[in-house]
Structure 1
């Protein structure tokens, strides 16, 4: 719907205009100058204006670290890059997609030779060149545009002098580090196959380049013509006597490379041999201590300090780590007697270890920012003072990421609180993980998991988690899983609240799948399955409308959609006697849904019910008549375009809906599995917006959930690549004109093309 405002007799169109201001480089990060600790928030969620996008990234899991001579460590994480000044422990800057980075989750990073810039590589082949002083970000797509080889992922980046070496899935691309034009490419190493992917690359202090591939290890002087296969000396894995290496480090004293269970080293004049003293624990990185013959090897739960080839010190730690670096102040440990080691954690940011000359630990400090534990959230729910997120129902088969899948709570007062196996002993002891449903009340946040039941976290008056977690699973409650599989494995595929504040859940495919729970109580009450329902109809999803009717998404045991059941549980939910229910499906006489697989249901401000499916959307104009009416009252209407231009008159007929929400103007935001984000008008006859990763800052076209904050107009968008906020103009109307604001003020026809009014009472008419 378009609105007009009359200003001095002239009509000015108020339309929804796309803004990308927060996706461009800004003058300063909101975290710059703050302490590098858990209280410092990296993102400003309070200063959005209509049309703005804000990406919320996790900066906890370290991918790469680079230490500049100025005692600034730059940390690449799965959500972006930030810098910390080590002397004072202050944040220097933060770069995410909000600041122009190409994407979340960089694969590699290097400092330019003068320390004035960063080179950041990504798995799709893109390179970001970041000028640190000006905060300008330039993206290079030379590798992305290459069509010769399918694997364009960037594995390693190194800068030496005026050359930047980029190791990819097909070889090495060499850039001029001043002009950022491609100089040459190394696509073949000796007699090995053309386009061989590089697992890891490093450059030795003498300037020689070392690469690990599936065929073996190759090296060449950086001064040689790298594009000539004959420039490369090679060792096959048979010659080395090892499986292919996952990483390689080129040190002054030699080469160190590792598999998941062994470490091998190369010494000049001697050759390759297994570093048996390193043991069989998986290793991730190694550094030399300047001025000594000591090396530090980073392994899964420890750091080993070696004097020569022998273990001098075993330094255990509890979390998992990916990288280690020495601070630039540790330039000559033999003379200074002090060693500062930086450990890049997969769960806690950067840990700074300070040792004396005998490796006695003097101090340990953690440097991290206040951000979510992970990027993508499967489910988002608004709380009274922020929002709650559940992470994912999918196993990564990864010790770190799977155990992070608990809950993330954001409070406008205290910021982010991550509750998972790494931060909560109750979850750790019960191996609670894979949460993918969420709901919140005034006093509690709930998440439902894939196999671990429900977790309840108490919230204080400000909406901040108190740390008290209660688990409801097959051992601690009446909830049960699918009997044909394992009734002890409780998959919570639906989680909602009703108008009385009562919690309702669906345990996927269980014989008594529906259950309810009064806020704060110790157990759940199981509800009998509706009588007369087909044995093929198993409960999966759940939505509760304003009448407290339960809309239960149905599937067969083979996961084929069976429509949606509308259920009134009556005055006594535990009794079938007062139940009323009807099943709507794709049959023209039983619902007329666009598809039998229902994925989302919402109720709009007019009381209409909108049903999203794997193939389009339908709506019920008078849902009150569903349980008492006939075929006509149970026939859903497909969305029909007011001005059809294609072969079909139906609007969004073939989209795979994943979530829907209603904004303050009764318009509907529609999320899809692979086609981005849509906004349709209140009646469902016209498309107002269509955001994709190609035409907007949207991180991914695969959207998992939506949540709308009617007080602020913030639309929370959970994509497969991260969570974003879009500031929608259509926030909730006020009840009176106490807080009306109009901007820009003063308005100039020469400089402004829109005027924004906020705080208008509901149903206002602007003339």
Structure 2
């Protein structure tokens, strides 16, 4: 996050309660509600039935009703029970779609949108792999091939009917298919079979090994099976790229029908339209059984698609595309990408924001090695997303990857700085276009001391004058600046931190810079407002040990500056605060940081103990939102003496407890939370003030009988005493605004619900004259 000018940094408070779930547009997201940000990309499977095309995404399902022209996304915020989807299949008998998950969970999604969860596999006390690899519908049953056994489901009763374990020990079953009077189950090392109508298939003795599918070589595993025109086929995957095969199961064993002559990697195999459907790395082909090509779906996008699966509706082919999501392809060669609202991709690493605009980096920066990730970055303003990646930016055609940090220029929000670990580590965005690239060849940025000829930019922040401050990791001078007029300066350096890895960057209200240096502690830098003159600069380095800084750890993982100009420091071993942040530069030696001590059940403990702190955000009420690597998000009081709430996967719509980064949209009060499983957000009651009352709104209005959440008054002056009166002027309720927002629970001061009527809202700020700011209609 970046810091705002203190005179404009209005205060607020986030509501700690959970009020419901939503995936609608933000204008419909109520205070206390959550939503999940899912891109209609990274599709892994697809199914068609009852006029609906359903594509399984990494964290949701996209539904497309072609007749109605309507698109909908389901995720765990609006009905699905889980995330990390593995497969999807249609059951014609119940007109429902079965959705499988990596952890064994199963959802049954009906055409009318209702969803039934079948959690038996997920909840089973079985160690190891429970992944649902595929579904097969047969004779009113749904067969799930899982990572340990074959599960038989009753679609009408939403329950597990039986479990088949042909070996008495777990096997990773990939497919269940039927041919003639037999059931076949393919696992990574072979195939088993049994008489399909045997009522005792739960007994391993009623299964036998199909010796036609011999035990594969050590570098080969079986991945899928299918039946086409009364013939049985399996996909054999080899570790060598491009050496996979589709094999026909014959009386004499396996016979290759589609092999490595195409020199392309097979990513999936299925039977589609009575043909052998093969997904290659960038195309999809349907083969006749004589190995001739029947039909092909070529590349239809740039960059090339990654077609993972196809469903056929009798006329059109529906593609699960890992790059583009759900795609319709007809027999005339016309393709249509089914677009939805939301981020361009499902890759999230870091987030920053300013004045209602956020920027998300989709790559990653690893301290140890390069990952060469190419997802790029995206911005969002007023729910409109803009993608910056290799396909949209000509300057990124080569030499740019691992984009992991970003900042927005407060003097010109159209300018965004993006940092990465690559040949040209700094990119400057103007509007929708990247206009400048900087690296060691055209600026004072340095390549790393590691000898890899790469520039590693791990931290970016603009100050209030529009100067861009840059953390240039692994360089002789890790802190650099590009001024608003385009000049470059390298700041002085303490030899202790030269050539070290540094990442976290914050600028306080006195203009001092704070940089977290891995293994070296926290650097404070005072340039005395003379950027071009480094001779008067002061550097302090705080490390572990009393008198040396007393840091919890020398590995700084998060930084934030609060309203009192105190520096909140997160490490991989807990939390600390530097209270006298400016005084450290005016005294000799090093000032120690402080651990916050709290009383819990009569015991004095350190706040959050030795938790790995991944991010710290300060809300408008000076409260701290602390993200952790394992325990979700904590909301603590301004001084840290009280833990107000802990949002985690067990008690909230958080999709993971591993928080990577967070950021507020202070205009709306929405807190964006990036986790290792994706991004969610929570609409709080924290917003900046509107001293002119030009944007005052009350919502919902009217308040209908079925509404149970808070009534929100937004766009008022900071520190207002808010009073609610009835039409006769009688006081009904009073509260104090949190920054520019106050909430009312719809009850009287005494706790009873108010009756139907019109209620007036008055504010009286701590300074200045009060005024009536609105009214709300309550219907009981």
Aligned to 1:348: 324
Equivalent residue for 1:599, pick from 550, 557, 567: 557
* Distance in 2 of aligned mates of 1:657 and 1:729: 24
* Distance in 2 of aligned mates of 1:644 and 1:630: 37
Q: Which is bigger in relative contact order (C-alpha 8 A, separation at least 6)?
A: 2
Aligned to 1:303: 284
Equivalent residue for 1:248, pick from 225, 230, 243: 225
> 2:407 aligns to what SS in structure 1?
strand
Matched, 1:126 2:100: no
Checking the alignment, whether the CA contact within 8 Å between 2:558 and 2:613 is kept in structure 1 is yes
Aligned to 2:37: 56
Aligned to 2:490: 527
Equivalent residue for 2:47, pick from 56, 59, 66: 66
* Distance in 2 of aligned mates of 1:98 and 1:731: 24
Checking the alignment, whether the CA contact within 8 Å between 1:201 and 1:209 is kept in structure 2 is no
Alignment length (residue pairs): 692
Checking the alignment, whether the CA contact within 8 Å between 1:380 and 1:388 is kept in structure 2 is yes
Provide the TM-score with structure 1 as the length reference: 0.83
* Distance in 2 of aligned mates of 1:748 and 1:393: 46
> Is the alpha carbon distance of 1:471 and 1:627 closer, same or farther for their aligned partners in structure 2, counting shifts above 3 Å?
same
Aligned to 2:393: 424
> 2:534 aligns to what SS in structure 1?
coil
Matched, 1:491 2:445: no
Matched, 1:325 2:325: no
* Distance in 1 of aligned mates of 2:324 and 2:140: 34
Matched, 1:257 2:237: no
Checking the alignment, whether the CA contact within 8 Å between 1:64 and 1:109 is kept in structure 2 is yes
Matched, 1:608 2:566: yes
Aligned to 2:375: 405
Equivalent residue for 1:171, pick from 110, 130, 149: 149
Checking the alignment, whether the CA contact within 8 Å between 2:233 and 2:247 is kept in structure 1 is yes
* Distance in 2 of aligned mates of 1:273 and 1:479: 58
Q: Map Cα deviations across residues 268-324 of structure 1 (whole Å, 9 max, x no partner).
A: 65642012566242223445564xx75443212233343442434665426242434
* Distance in 2 of aligned mates of 1:744 and 1:179: 40
Equivalent residue for 2:620, pick from 640, 655, 664: 664
Provide the TM-score with structure 2 as the length reference: 0.81
Aligned to 1:284: 267
Checking the alignment, whether the CA contact within 8 Å between 1:382 and 1:709 is kept in structure 2 is yes
Checking the alignment, whether the CA contact within 8 Å between 2:179 and 2:230 is kept in structure 1 is no
Aligned to 2:540: 582
* Distance in 2 of aligned mates of 1:520 and 1:353: 51
Aligned to 1:273: 255
Taking the TM superposition and a 5 Å limit, the aligned residue runs for 1:92-491 are 92-114=71-93, 116-133=95-112, 135-189=113-167, 194-198=169-173, 200-204=174-178, 208-224=182-198, 225-235=200-210, 239=214, 243-258=220-235, 259-260=237-238, 261-267=243-249, 271-276=253-258, 279=261, 280-286=263-269, 290=273, 295-312=276-293, 316-317=298-299, 319-330=304-315, 340-355=316-331, 361-393=332-364, 403-412=373-382, 415-430=384-399, 432-441=400-409, 442-456=413-427, 458-460=429-431, 466-483=432-449, 485-491=450-456
* Ranges in structure 2 where 5+ consecutive residues have no aligned partner: 1-12, 723-733, 735-780
* Distance in 1 of aligned mates of 2:522 and 2:597: 22
* Distance in 1 of aligned mates of 2:430 and 2:181: 56
> Is the alpha carbon distance of 1:565 and 1:751 closer, same or farther for their aligned partners in structure 2, counting shifts above 3 Å?
closer
> 1:151 aligns to what SS in structure 2?
coil
Checking the alignment, whether the CA contact within 8 Å between 2:225 and 2:270 is kept in structure 1 is no
Task: State the 1:17 CA deviation.
Answer: 5.2
> 1:492 aligns to what SS in structure 2?
strand
**TM-align CA RMSD:** 3.2
* Distance in 1 of aligned mates of 2:268 and 2:707: 55
* Ranges in structure 1 where 5+ consecutive residues have no aligned partner: 1-13, 24-41, 331-339, 356-360, 461-465, 556-560
Aligned to 1:34: none
Matched, 1:554 2:511: no
